[in-house]
């Protein structure tokens, strides 16, 4: 994403103009734009003119519209690799942006074609400027942090991962903030019946064939942005898959694929499901290569949280209320929070979470904002979306009792005050 | 306006549709089958299924291969062929296992990867053997086999260090025993294998028995239903026949052989009046026309010629043939492991882990349900939102524990604490489990429901296992289907 213009006042109101470039930028925009903002972007609108004779003339006009946002929706890209081959001409280039962000709302600035207050839905387009205008307090530290993060050039290291089991494969593409499931492949393989039957072997070879075909279609192996291709599976399927891909590549003399050989990493995981991705990413083979990427860090931290939960339950807290209590006591060492919480339509809720984040940062704690388009973020979402590792142990029951006392105390005081006043 | 009856709130009377009745011929067959099964239960010769479990390389497949040979199920010609074949690739010690490890990869690696099905004939029992893989990566296959079994045969390696490796934390001896117990198996025969490698030392045998006994009791096996037997599978010692009295083993062992013990296993009573449930464990192209599916009848009676619904899905298929070990049957009662040849169906709608039911009474589909679980010996506690793999028969689906409802007392089931924050090891709890969709957003993020039934309705359809990161973290029974 490119930052075109930025004008934010001290009170957090102001406007920022950006130019999205790929799928991930769309995801950032989806997280930035909130109900109540004003968004100005290019769009197409059908304009009807009724002439004096009563005939209706309808045209599509390309125009810039400013909307007061009521709803933002997100549609993830559908198999980006599939189109890249045909549209860009060069096979196996980096995938084009196909994710969509739709912003609906009422038109906030009138022009000669559209009346004020008319409804419109804008499809945010790639490489077209988008201006986001927020009211006072709208550009909080989290939102500004997100803008900054998304406009850093040269990110976009990507990892392709194939999680496979016998007869199944899931193709995923991981970028900094997103995991896109490109395809799931399932080939029925008859299980072994007797020693004579070759049905199992036939099924297997059919499976390898279709896996290879999908691999060519989906994995942009020759793109320089693609850092690694991870093949993860239980058992020995990953070895067989890798051998088959390489054998096919040399049989069809696919030079590009053969040179990408050292991008492949084989990892053992325990189950052939998408959630094994977290397991794959924290394996030593990958962790050493991907240490600085966001998704690896998230996975490692979440793992640390669960381990802490096992070893020292009083230092691992989760749930918005509990974490808020821990934050009040300045106990948070690492805060993990899902971006889904910031997308909350209730501004008060967002403010509450932002204040927790700022509070932790101020006290020198680490804050990780998980992307819910990653497996680790999904798992955090399941775990109420917010969790923290504390620097010192705190007993929840004790803290809750304290809170209750403080509340009672406050009420008593209030009652007393009222009593004296009366 | 009045004519439209808009104000009329009396609901339209819903006439429940009469469930489709099976045709008369099928009904007659079912009646016949019920009589025959009642008779069979009184007779001497009864059938049961046995899953062979144990740590990797304990010698499960070798023992079964040798046992099949001893009981005359493998002829001399085949034995020689296996011996030659295995010697050729330098794995002659796997020659007996080749009888069960059929696929090329299994033979090359010398490891069982999937369940092998065989039938044994002992004097009083017809035993369906399910030889399970011991390697930890193939536990899903082992679960699929164990959920089809009535009894278990645990094979342990007596060699120094090997037994310990299997019995330690994370060893499969431990995990397999817990798994089979959780899947409803209550009888277990423990074969202490490879005693020839420790010079038939009685002390070693006693040590192993001494270590296993308390664990078996702790896992919920009744002491009277656990039997121990010393064997050496490779040489066939004490499998089917007794050696001369002067051999090393019989100096101190006077008990029964393995086959004697298998012959005395209790066959459970079958529920033939329950609705038909047939979870499919394998789909393959049969020798005749149509598709073959194999599995175990988990309730009721399946008869040849009837039409069964395939759940999930809208398809149905006609049972053309029922065969068990090459023998054609007119019907198959609950508890039998059979192959069904189906016609009038597109093979694409048959999947491993679909369930066949009679059209009038189909198994419900669910994506969220509550379950009562027992947490195993885990290190990382279970929180709300833990990602798990849910196992049910041959099905392995991603799910998450969406809510921790309450912690229960293990002995009497009363609620100890409601809404706990975490579940730690050895707790008993009530939880809500939701299946996970396949994508992070968009339409595919909705989970596809799976066929499940509460435990109170059908025991075999109501047992679940939950695993996380290659470790079984709990087992339980389905209480209530929510959606």
Distance of CA A337 to the CA centre of its chain: 13
B225: left (phi over 0), alpha (psi -120 to 50) or beta: alpha
Chain A residues inside the 8 Å CB shell of B281: 191
Chain A residue whose CA is closest to B118: A194
More confident site: A299 or B14:
A299
Provide the pLDDT for residue A155.
60
Cα B347 from Cα B350, distance rounded (Å): 5
Cα B236 from Cα B69, distance rounded (Å): 9
- Please indicate whether, in this complex, the C-beta atoms of A201 and B113 are within 8 angstroms of each other: no
DSSP 3-state assignment of A73? Answer: strand
Residue A78 corresponds to which tokens in the numbers above? 């559908």
Q: Is A243 on the interface with B (CB under 8 A)?
A: no
What is the percent of chain A where pLDDT is above 90?
36
Helices (H), B43-171: 60-70, 76-88, 104-109, 139-146, 162-167
> Residues 6 or more apart from A35 whose CB is under 8 A from it?
A69, A70, A71, A72, A345
Pairing relationship of beta strands B125-131 and A226-233 according to DSSP bridges: unpaired
A310 CA: distance to closest CA in chain B (Å): 5
User: To probe the interface with A, which of B441, B468, B471 has the most A CB atoms within 10 Å?
Assistant: B441
CA distances from B374 to A34, B90, B144, B410, B453 (A): 44, 45, 20, 8, 19
Cα B306 from Cα B298, distance rounded (Å): 17
Which one of A199, A273, A274 has the shortest CB-CB distance to B285?
A199
- Please indicate whether, in this complex, the C-beta atoms of A235 and B138 are within 8 angstroms of each other: yes
Mean pLDDT for chain B overall: 87
CATH 3.40.50.300 maps onto chain B at 45-263
- Please indicate whether, in this complex, the C-beta atoms of B137 and A194 are within 8 angstroms of each other: no
Q: Please give the ipTM for the structure prediction.
A: 0.85
Cα B427 from Cα B404, distance rounded (Å): 12
Cα Dmax for chain B: 102
Chain A residues inside the 8 Å CB shell of B103: 192, 200-201
Cα A199 from Cα B62, distance rounded (Å): 24
Domain boundaries B19-34+272-357, corresponding CATH code: 2.40.30.10
User: To probe the interface with A, which of B143, B284, B326 has the most A CB atoms within 10 Å?
Assistant: B284
What is the percent of chain A where pLDDT is above 70?
93
Helix (H) or strand (E) holding A308: helix A294-311
Indicate if the pLDDT at residue B384 is higher than 50.
yes
Residue A65 corresponds to which tokens in the numbers above? 């519209």
**pLDDT band with cut points at 50, 70 and 90 for residue B411:** confident
Q: Which CATH number fits domain B45-263: 3.40.50.300, 3.20.20.140, 2.60.120.10, 1.10.10.10?
A: 3.40.50.300
Provide the pLDDT for residue A421.
66
* φ and ψ at residue B416, rounded to 5 degrees: -90, -45
Which one of A192, A318, A383 has the shortest CB-CB distance to B102?
A192
For chain A, what percentages of helix, strand and coil (3-state, to nearest 5) are there? 40, 30, 30
Concatenate the DSSP letters of all residues of B357-409 into one string: E-TTSPPPEESEEEEEEEE-S-SSPEETT-EEEEEETTEEEEEEEEEEEEEE-
pLDDT digits (tens, 9 = 90+) for A266-300: 999 988 988 888 888 888 888 787 777 778 888 88
pLDDT digits (tens, 9 = 90+) for B124-178: 888 999 999 999 889 999 999 999 999 999 999 999 989 999 988 878 898 999 9
Helix (H) or strand (E) holding A181: strand A179-186
- Please indicate whether, in this complex, the C-beta atoms of B380 and A275 are within 8 angstroms of each other: no
Give the pLDDT mean for A350-355.
90
Nearest Cα residue to A76 out of B35, B439, B466, B242: B439
pLDDT digits (tens, 9 = 90+) for A215-234: 998 888 888 888 889 999 99
Residue A201 corresponds to which tokens in the numbers above? 């072997």
CA distances from A170 to A37, A164, A231, B353 (A): 38, 6, 10, 19
Provide the pLDDT for residue A84.
39
Which one of B104, B115, B385 has the shortest CB-CB distance to A379?
B385
B103 CA: distance to closest CA in chain A (Å): 7
- Please indicate whether, in this complex, the C-beta atoms of A188 and B422 are within 8 angstroms of each other: no
> What is the number of CB-based contacts under 8 A between chain A and chain B?
113
The total of other beta-carbon atoms located within 10 Å of residue A214's CB is 20
Mean pLDDT for chain A overall: 86
pTM above 0.95, yes or no: no
Chain A residues inside the 8 Å CB shell of B106: 192
The total of other beta-carbon atoms located within 10 Å of residue B478's CB is 23
Nearest Cα residue to A102 out of A127, A129, A122: A122
Q: Which domains does chain A have, with CATH numbers?
A: 2-150 (2.30.30.870), 159-290 (3.30.420.60), 296-399 (3.30.1330.30)
Indicate if the pLDDT at residue A18 is higher than 80.
yes
Q: Is A184 on the interface with B (CB under 8 A)?
A: yes
Contact by Cβ (8 Å): B294, B307: no
A193 CA: distance to closest CA in chain B (Å): 7
B283 CA: distance to closest CA in chain A (Å): 6
CATH class for the domain made up of B365-481:
mainly beta
Residue B336 corresponds to which tokens in the numbers above? 């039998």
Cα A116 from Cα B168, distance rounded (Å): 74
> For the CA atoms of B448, B452, B454, B457, what is the dihedral angle to 10 degrees?
140
Helix (H) or strand (E) holding B295: strand B291-296
Chain A residue whose CA is closest to B388: A275
Cα A134 from Cα A39, distance rounded (Å): 9
CA distances from B340 to B305, B308, B333 (A): 11, 11, 13
- Please indicate whether, in this complex, the C-beta atoms of B381 and A274 are within 8 angstroms of each other: no
The total of other beta-carbon atoms located within 10 Å of residue A199's CB is 19
Give the pLDDT mean for B30-40.
84
CATH 2.40.30.10 maps onto chain B at 19-34+272-357, 365-481
pLDDT digits (tens, 9 = 90+) for B341-352: 999 888 888 988
B416 CA: distance to closest CA in chain A (Å): 17
Cα B214 from Cα B203, distance rounded (Å): 18
User: To probe the interface with B, which of A235, A317, A373 has the most B CB atoms within 10 Å?
Assistant: A235
- Please indicate whether, in this complex, the C-beta atoms of B400 and A373 are within 8 angstroms of each other: no
Indicate if the pLDDT at residue A85 is higher than 50.
no
- Please indicate whether, in this complex, the C-beta atoms of A270 and B442 are within 8 angstroms of each other: no
Nearest Cα residue to B181 out of B139, B149, B227: B149
- Please indicate whether, in this complex, the C-beta atoms of A382 and B99 are within 8 angstroms of each other: no
Q: Is A235 on the interface with B (CB under 8 A)?
A: yes
Give the pLDDT mean for A330-353.
88
Cα B131 from Cα B152, distance rounded (Å): 10
A17 CA: distance to closest CA in chain B (Å): 27
């Amino acid at each position: 994403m490119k930052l075109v213009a930025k004008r934010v006042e001290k009170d957090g109101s102001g406007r920022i103009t950006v130019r999205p470039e790929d799928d991930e930028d769309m995801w950032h925009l989806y997280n930035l734009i909130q109900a109540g903002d004003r968004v100005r972007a290019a769009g197409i609108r059908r304009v009807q003119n009724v002439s004096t004779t009563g005939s209706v003339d309808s045209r599509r006009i390309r125009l810039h519209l400013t909307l007061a946002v009521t709803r933002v929706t997100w549609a993830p890209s559908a198999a980006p690799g599939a189109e890249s081959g045909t549209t860009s001409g060069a096979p196996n280039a980096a995938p084009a942006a196909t994710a969509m962000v739709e912003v609906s709302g009422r038109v906030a600035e009138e022009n000669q074609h559209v009346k004020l207050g008319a409804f419109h839905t804008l499809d945010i387009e790639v490489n077209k400027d988008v201006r986001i205008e927020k009211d006072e307090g709208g550009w909080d530290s989290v939102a500004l942090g997100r803008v900054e993060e998304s406009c850093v050039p040269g990110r976009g290291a990507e990892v392709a991962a194939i999680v496979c089991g016998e007869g199944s494969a899931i193709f995923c593409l991981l970028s900094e903030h997103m995991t896109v499931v490109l395809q799931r492949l399932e080939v029925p393989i008859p299980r072994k019946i007797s020693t004579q039957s070759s049905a199992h072997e036939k099924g297997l070879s059919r499976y390898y064939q279709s896996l290879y075909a999908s691999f060519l279609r989906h994995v942009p192996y020759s793109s320089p942005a693609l850092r690694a291709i991870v093949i993860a599976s239980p058992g020995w399927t990953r070895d067989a898959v890798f051998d088959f891909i390489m054998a096919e590549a040399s049989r069809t003399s696919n030079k590009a694929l053969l040179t990408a050989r050292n991008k492949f990493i084989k990892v053992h995981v325990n189950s052939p499901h998408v959630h094994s991705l977290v397991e794959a990413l924290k394996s030593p083979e990958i962790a050493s290569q991907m240490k600085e990427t966001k998704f690896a860090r998230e996975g490692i931290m979440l793992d640390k949280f669960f381990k802490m939960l096992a070893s020292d339950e009083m230092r691992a807290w989760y749930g918005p209320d509990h974490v808020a209590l821990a934050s009040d006591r300045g106990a948070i060492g690492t805060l993990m929070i899902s971006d889904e919480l910031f997308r909350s339509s209730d501004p008060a809720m967002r403010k509450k979470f932002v204040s927790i984040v700022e509070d932790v940062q101020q006290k020198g704690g680490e804050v990780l904002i998980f992307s819910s388009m990653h497996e680790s973020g999904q798992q955090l979402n399941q775990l109420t979306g917010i969790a923290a590792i504390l620097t010192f142990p705190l007993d929840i029951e004790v803290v809750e009792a304290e809170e209750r006392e403080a509340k009672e105390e406050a009420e008593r005081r209030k009652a007393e005050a009222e009593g004296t006043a009366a | 306006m009045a004519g439209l009856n808009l104000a009329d709130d009396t609901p339209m009377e819903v006439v429940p549709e009469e469930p489709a009745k099976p045709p008369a011929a099928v009904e007659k067959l079912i009646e016949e089958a019920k009589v025959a099964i009642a008779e069979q239960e009184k007779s001497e010769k009864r059938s049961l299924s046995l899953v062979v479990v144990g740590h990797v390389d304990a010698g499960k497949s070798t023992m079964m291969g040798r046992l099949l040979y001893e009981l005359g199920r493998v002829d001399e010609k085949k034995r020689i062929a296996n011996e030659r074949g295995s010697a050729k690739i330098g794995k002659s010690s796997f020659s007996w296992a080749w009888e069960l490890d059929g696929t090329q990869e299994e033979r090359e690696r010398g490891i069982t990867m999937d369940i092998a099905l065989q039938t044994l004939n002992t004097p009083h029992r017809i035993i369906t053997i399910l030889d399970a893989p011991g390697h930890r990566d193939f536990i899903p296959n082992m679960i699929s086999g164990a959920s089809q079994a009535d009894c278990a045969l645990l094979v342990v390696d007596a060699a120094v260090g090997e037994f310990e490796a299997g019995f330690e934390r994370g060893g499969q001896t431990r995990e397999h025993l817990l798994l089979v117990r959780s899947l409803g198996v209550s009888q277990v025969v423990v074969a202490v294998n490879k005693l020839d490698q420790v010079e038939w030392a009685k002390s070693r045998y006693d040590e192993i028995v001494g270590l296993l006994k308390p664990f078996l009791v702790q896992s919920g096996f009744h002491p009277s239903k656990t039997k121990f037997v010393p064997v050496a599978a490779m040489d066939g010692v004490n499998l089917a026949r007794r050696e001369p009295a002067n051999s090393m083993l019989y100096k101190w062992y006077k008990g029964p052989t393995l086959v004697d013990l298998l012959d005395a296993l209790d066959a459970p009573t079958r529920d033939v009046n329950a609705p038909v449930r047939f979870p499919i464990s394998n789909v393959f192209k049969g020798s005749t026309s149509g598709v073959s599916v194999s599995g175990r009848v988990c309730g009721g009676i399946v008869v040849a010629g009837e039409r069964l619904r395939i759940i999930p899905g809208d398809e149905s298929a006609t049972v053309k043939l029922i065969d068990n070990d090459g023998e054609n049957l007119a019907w198959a009662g609950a508890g039998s492991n059979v192959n069904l040849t189906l016609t009038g169906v597109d093979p694409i709608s048959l999947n491993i882990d679909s369930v066949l039911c009679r059209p009038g009474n189909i198994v419900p589909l669910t994506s969220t349900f509550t379950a009562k679980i027992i947490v195993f010996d885990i290190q990382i506690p279970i929180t709300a939102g833990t990602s798990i793999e849910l196992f049910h028969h041959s099905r392995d689906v991603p799910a998450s524990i969406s809510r921790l409802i309450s912690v229960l007392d293990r002995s009497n089931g009363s609620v100890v604490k409601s809404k706990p924050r975490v579940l730690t090891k050895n707790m008993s709890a009530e939880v809500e489990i939701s299946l996970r969709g396949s994508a992070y957003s968009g339409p595919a993020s909705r989970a596809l429901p799976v066929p499940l039934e509460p435990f109170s309705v059908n025991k075999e359809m109501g047992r679940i296992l939950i695993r996380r990161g290659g470790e079984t973290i709990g087992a339980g029974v389905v209480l209530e289907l929510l959606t």
